[in-house]
């Protein structure tokens, strides 16, 4: 027995090592890039709370940031980590426990108390350590104290730790960071692990100096370059580094493991509005962590709008985790493409002008030039949605040229989606009986004809209602099949007036208005249900097209005559309108819808 146990010992050790590595790789955290706030770039290592009471690294700064993240809706859009960078501890460890201790004057509640405050507000608690003997600012480092510090993080209920690499030997970093990752896992506390050591190793000229597989196995995210500054030169330098090293960095990015080009400096002093759009747009294309470093009490509205942009955030948080590819430079403008996974056949593309002088640059391309990955479905018709405005720039085919104009140090960025009316037009057209349409796989050309017709019809109706075509009519006249129009001069027989024959309404003498309204409303409800089943969430722009093409005509045909006494018929039509209203994200209330409708504007 003793000999058998001795023989099995190497296997047990091997299994333990493999298990530790597996846990580090699959801790289940940050399956999309982390979003939050980090203190360093804006507040650095300001510890003079007498002269700078609002800006020093302190409990007060962190708590007011937490309060603002809640009150201004940052948490609601995804920013959840609150990370205190360097300069939070005392200059010496606790003499008895050897633990790192928060500065007692600047953090009177201690680190545990600060963490409780953050957690009580539904946010996540992040903190800074350094693998070396000292932090970059000269505070206690973690070398020789890795086990103590890992247990401290768990005791403080930390959710995120950034481990810097100052004052440590480069050759010891890979082993040291891996060891600390294992120790974090052994605590049982789920902690996002941000590793900075790639930024300290000169790997760009020789990527083989870093074991990238090992890095990905042991860290959730990692810094690759030096610190960002609040300047366009700094932002552009990082973008160009991401471009130049994409063959190394792109393959290792993905759910749970992210390349970190450093903090967002949007909302500070050094960038113009165009340049802020560039940083946010490119960081979202990179699938980079979105960690704001700004004074949240003094965030200007334009910068806040960029940082909260729902289209940009959805691109950044796309579940596929694909990092964008640099495609080419055309007329001095960089072309970038990112494959998205949350919707089939969807991409993000960008045109970034790095030049600070001159006028706008005009770029003409086709989607096929952007190297879209994965074969698109038929029909090859796509919407270009401007991510900064949410408006549809245009609908194009893969080989169709389009032109954009890019400001100096600016960006034009689109989300590319299959044209939604095209995507379901054959289903709706078949249901409505408007035409026999083949499914895309068997007869794409027939579908394209129907799609083009539906698209042109829909776009043609996005106009103000022509009041001259809105008249009050009733049965009458000298013919059983005629009805009269009531105007200022009295009843007129519409069948005898050529100018009025294009109203597009035909009535049978046997028509029952209430029955007609009921059947048309039933069909409209059925179409709405079909749209709801097809899309779990639909934007207002997309819904406008579908509603205008397939629902509104049914209501117009159902209600050509308004009878003041037919209240139940009016209510029936309004039920359809209310059902449609509830399907559109961002539509505030039924009252608002009704007001728009009564004013005869084309909401849909």
Instruction: State how far the Cα of 199 lies from the Cα of 131, in Å rounded to an integer.
Output: 13
How would DSSP label each residue in 231-262?
SHHHHHHHHHHHHHTHHHHGGG-BTTBEEE--
Q: Which of 227, 274, 295, 493 is catalytic?
A: 227
Nearest CA among 409, 12, 68 for reference residue 232: 409
Instruction: State how far the Cα of 24 lies from the Cα of 178, in Å rounded to an integer.
Output: 9
Q: Are 159 and 124 in contact (CB under 8 A)?
A: yes
Nearest CA among 335, 330, 353, 333 for reference residue 408: 353
Two tokens at 208? 């083989």
Two tokens at 300? 């200007």
3 state SS of 349: strand
Phi-psi region of 166 (alpha: psi -120 to 50; beta: other; left: phi over 0): beta
Instruction: State how far the Cα of 45 lies from the Cα of 248, in Å rounded to an integer.
Output: 33
Instruction: State how far the Cα of 566 lies from the Cα of 252, in Å rounded to an integer.
Output: 66
Residues 6 or more apart whose CB falls under 8 angstroms from that of 453 comprise none
Q: Which of 164, 230, 369, 569 is catalytic?
A: 164
Two tokens at 519? 């059947």
Torsion on CA atoms 575, 580, 586, 590, rounded to nearest 10 = -10
Nearest CA among 357, 409, 417, 408 for reference residue 387: 417
- Could you tell me the CA-to-CA distances from 495 to 193, 487, 559 in Å, in that order? 78, 15, 19
Residues 6 or more apart whose CB falls under 8 angstroms from that of 416 comprise 346, 347, 348, 349, 367, 372, 382, 383, 384, 385
**Buried b or exposed e, range 281-301, using 16+ CB within 10 angstroms:** bbbbbbbbbbbbbbbbeebee
- Could you tell me the CA-to-CA distances from 224 to 231, 284, 475 in Å, in that order? 19, 17, 78
Tell me, yes or no, if 227 is annotated catalytic.
Answer: yes
Torsion on CA atoms 334, 404, 586, 569, rounded to nearest 10 = -150
Nearest CA among 187, 165, 252, 143 for reference residue 27: 187
Q: Are 91 and 98 in contact (CB under 8 A)?
A: no
Instruction: State how far the Cα of 135 lies from the Cα of 147, in Å rounded to an integer.
Output: 17
Instruction: State how far the Cα of 535 lies from the Cα of 541, in Å rounded to an integer.
Output: 13
Q: Nearest 5°: CA angle at 232, between 227 and 236?
A: 70
Which residues belong to the active site? Answer: 164, 227
């Amino acid at each position: 027995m003793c000999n058998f146990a001795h023989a099995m010992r190497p296997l047990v050790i091997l299994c333990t090592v493999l298990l530790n590595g597996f846990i580090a790789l699959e801790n289940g955290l940050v399956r999309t890039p982390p979003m939050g706030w980090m203190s360093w770039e804006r507040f650095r290592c300001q510890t003079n709370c007498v002269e700078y009471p609002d800006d020093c690294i302190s409990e007060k700064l962190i708590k007011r940031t937490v309060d603002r993240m809640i009150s201004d809706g940052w948490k609601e859009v995804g920013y959840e980590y609150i990370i205190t960078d360097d300069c939070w501890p005392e200059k010496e460890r606790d003499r008895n426990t050897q633990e790192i201790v928060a500065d007692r004057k600047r953090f009177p509640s201690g680190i545990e108390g600060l963490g409780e405050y953050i957690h009580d507000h539904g946010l996540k608690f992040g903190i800074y350590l350094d693998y070396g003997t000292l932090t970059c600012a000269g505070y206690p480092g973690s070398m020789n104290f890795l086990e103590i510090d890992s247990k401290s993080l768990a005791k403080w209920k930390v959710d995120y730790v950034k481990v810097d690499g100052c004052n440590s030997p480069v050759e010891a970093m890979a082993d040291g960071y891996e060891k600390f990752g294992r120790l974090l896992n052994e605590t049982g506390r789920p902690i996002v692990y941000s590793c900075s050591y790639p930024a300290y190793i000169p790997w760009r000229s020789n990527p083989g100096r870093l074991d990238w597989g090992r890095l990905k196995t042991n860290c959730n995210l990692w810094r690759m370059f030096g610190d960002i500054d609040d300047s366009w030169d700094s932002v552009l330098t990082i973008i160009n580094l991401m471009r130049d090293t994409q063959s190394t960095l792109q393959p290792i990015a993905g759910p749970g493991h992210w390349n970190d080009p450093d903090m967002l400096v949007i909302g500070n002093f050094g960038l113009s509005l165009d340049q802020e759009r560039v940083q946010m747009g490119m960081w979202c294309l990179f699938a980079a962590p979105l960690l704001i470093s700004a004074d949240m009490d003094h965030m200007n509205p334009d910068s806040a709008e960029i940082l909260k942009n729902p289209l940009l955030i959805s691109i950044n948080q796309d579940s596929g985790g694909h990092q964008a590819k640099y495609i080419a430079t055309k007329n001095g403008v960089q072309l970038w493409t990112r494959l998205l996974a949350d919707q089939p056949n969807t991409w993000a593309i960008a045109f970034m002008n790095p030049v600070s002088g001159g006028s706008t640059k005009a770029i003409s391309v086709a989607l096929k030039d952007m190297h879209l990955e994965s074969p698109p479905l038929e029909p090859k018709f796509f919407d270009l949605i401007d991510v900064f405005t949410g408006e549809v720039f245009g609908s194009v085919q893969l080989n169709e040229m389009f032109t954009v104009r890019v400001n100096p140090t600016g960006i034009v960025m689109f989300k590319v989606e299959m044209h939604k009316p095209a995507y379901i037009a054959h289903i709706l057209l078949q249901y409505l009986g408007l035409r026999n349409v083949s499914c895309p796989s068997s007869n794409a050309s027939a579908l394209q004809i129907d799609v083009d017709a539906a698209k042109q019809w829909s776009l043609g109706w996005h106009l103000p209602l022509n009041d001259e075509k809105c008249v009050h009519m009733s049965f009458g006249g000298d013919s059983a099949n005629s009805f009269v129009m009531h105007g200022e001069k009295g009843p007129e027989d519409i069948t005898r007036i050529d100018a009025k024959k294009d109203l597009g309404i035909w009535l049978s003498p046997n028509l029952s208005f209430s029955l007609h309204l009921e059947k048309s409303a039933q069909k409209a409800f059925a179409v709405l249900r079909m749209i709801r089943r097809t899309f779990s969430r639909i934007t207002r722009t997309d819904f406008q097209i579908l509603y205008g093409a397939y629902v509104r005509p049914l209501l117009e045909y159902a209600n050509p005559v308004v009878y003041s006494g037919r209240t139940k018929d009016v209510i029936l039509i309004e039920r359809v309108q209310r059902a449609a209203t509830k399907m559109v994200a961002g539509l505030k209330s039924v009252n608002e819808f009704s007001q728009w409708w009564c004013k005869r504007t084309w909401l849909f």
